[in-house]
């Protein structure tokens, strides 16, 4: 066996032994993203930023008092403070909804992280991540702001994702990771019951 083949074999064996680390890192990564994004929901700019997604969603718009597209004339840019817009968002329940959503997101991330110690708790967290990311990905269908608008340029509409669309599409990776964790946790539960996964 050549030196290159030996090095390749060592590399492959080392990489193959990283499964536990990879799964654990995936749990921690999902927790970091969920805790950070969920925690930011208490910030005015983040709460304002999710309004187009929620207002246009047939599953979530009922949380707001105003219907789409009323929000369009009341949007603040990130970091901007316009008192009349903030007053509108307060009446719209923008901030109340964001606080509740943030709490839910942090809670889901925590359940996934606790999967390091309990496969049953992890399984619940994994299923909730799958459900939440499916909801987020639905915004590609329901939210006009996820696509580049027609402002005269040649690149607009499908498949041209806007900044909001690029933010949303990343959740497909989070969903894939949750399916991996779901498989691992289900396998751990079956193993504990004496079954082969």
**Tokens standing for 76?**
């603040």
Q: What is the pLDDT of residue 62?
A: 97
Q: Indicate the domain borders of the chain.
A: 29-192
Contacts of 154 (CB under 8 A, 6+ apart): none
Overall residue count recorded for the chain in this entry: 197
Amino acid 33: pLDDT:
98
Question: Nearest Cα to 61, choosing from 135, 165, 131, 128?
Answer: 135
For the chain (197 residues), the mean pLDDT of every run of 10, in chain order, is 89 92 97 98 96 96 96 93 96 98 98 98 98 98 96 95 96 98 97 81
List helix spans (H) across 41-161.
Answer: 44-49, 51-56, 83-92, 94-114, 119-137, 139-142
Q: Which residue has the tokens 């580049």?
A: 148
* CA 103/CA 16 separation, integer angstroms: 37
The structure tokens listed for 61 are 């718009």
- CB 144: neighbour CB atoms within 10 A? 14
């Amino acid at each position: 066996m050549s030196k290159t083949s030996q090095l390749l074999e060592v590399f492959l064996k080392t990489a193959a032994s990283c499964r536990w680390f990879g799964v654990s890192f995936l749990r921690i990564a999902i927790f970091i993203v969920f805790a950070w994004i969920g925690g930011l929901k208490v910030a005015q700019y983040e709460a304002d930023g999710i309004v187009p997604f929620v207002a246009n969603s047939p599953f979530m718009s009922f949380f707001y008092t105003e219907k789409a597209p009323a929000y369009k004339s009341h949007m603040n840019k990130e970091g901007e403070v316009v008192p009349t817009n903030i007053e509108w968002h307060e009446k719209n329940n923008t901030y109340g909804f964001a606080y509740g959503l943030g709490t839910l997101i942090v809670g889901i991330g925590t359940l996934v992280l606790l999967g390091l110690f309990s496969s049953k708790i992890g399984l619940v967290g994994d299923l909730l991540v799958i459900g939440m990311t499916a909801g987020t990905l639905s915004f590609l269908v329901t939210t006009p702001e996820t696509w580049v608008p027609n402002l005269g340029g040649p690149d607009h509409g499908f498949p041209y994702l806007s900044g909001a669309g690029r933010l949303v599409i990343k959740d497909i990776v989070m969903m894939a990771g949750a399916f991996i964790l779901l498989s691992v946790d289900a396998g751990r539960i079956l193993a504990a019951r004496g079954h082969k996964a």
